[in-house]
Amino acid sequence: MLYNLPPTLLFCIPFCTSLSFSLSFRETTCVASSPSSMDSQGDHKPGPVGKGAAGDEYKKPQVVLVDGLLVMPGTLRHWEKIKSFQARPDDIFIASYPKSGLMWTTQVMNMIKLHGDVEAYKVDKTLIPFLEFCRPDEEPAVEKINNLPSPRVINIHAPISHISKSILENKCKVICILRNPKDVAVSFYHFHTFNNMLPNPGTWSEFLQNFMIGKVGFNSWFDHVKGWWSLREQPNIFFLFYEEMKKVGNSKGKGMVYEIGRL
């Protein structure tokens, strides 16, 4: 019953319940980093402030709190539209905490939608929109999604506490992806260092502490996973594990692709 987490992720709990592991974690995980990316104590330095297309530097944004959820400023501006989004019964959602394999699964779904036509995918790589994604200089994705024909496939990062109620009320099909939190934390940190639309993560130790207490975008990994896992008995919710997706050569990996295709 500990954390009520999936069996394949329970082994992570002793590792993640204390910040005391941070030094050994840093040593084993960051060993491949170049010396220029480390400070004198062996900790990661944050990435650059950010550079625009013309090479001019600008301050990276900060996450903001809206309805108890930490999101980016662009998402905040259109939060009411995102919150009031109306799902259709035949919608398919790909749900995950950040850096858990959502884009990988999106690639698979894109190819399924295109019947394996690689050339067609090269023309448009944004076939599956991201509900919460909002660039400062573009219209919010939610408006584009509202105009898409059915059946729609939509990406979401929000925990179940902050998704549109219509998703569960309409019993929409959801592919939920789960990944080892140790790898999520490392990937999320590095994603912050080079993505100019995300906050400066600080050092690895600082980011790790924020990750552990849920003071990063989309809040706590633990709460996110517990929330979705609580729906595991519902027939319209299909779970994928990042680590098992990598086993594409075995029958289990092929079975996962088959199950996604059936959706």
Give the whole-angstrom CA distance, residue 223 versus residue 183: 17
Separation of alpha carbons 227 and 159, rounded Å: 7
The verdict on whether 157 is a catalytic residue reads yes
Give the residue carrying structure tokens 């900790």: 43
Catalytic residue among 44, 78, 115, 157: 157
Q: Where are the alpha helices (DSSP H) in 89-215?
A: 102-113, 118-123, 141-146, 165-169, 181-194, 204-212
136: preceding bond cis by omega (within 30 degrees): no
How many other CB atoms are there within 10 angstroms of residue 191's CB atom?
15
Active-site annotation, residues: 157
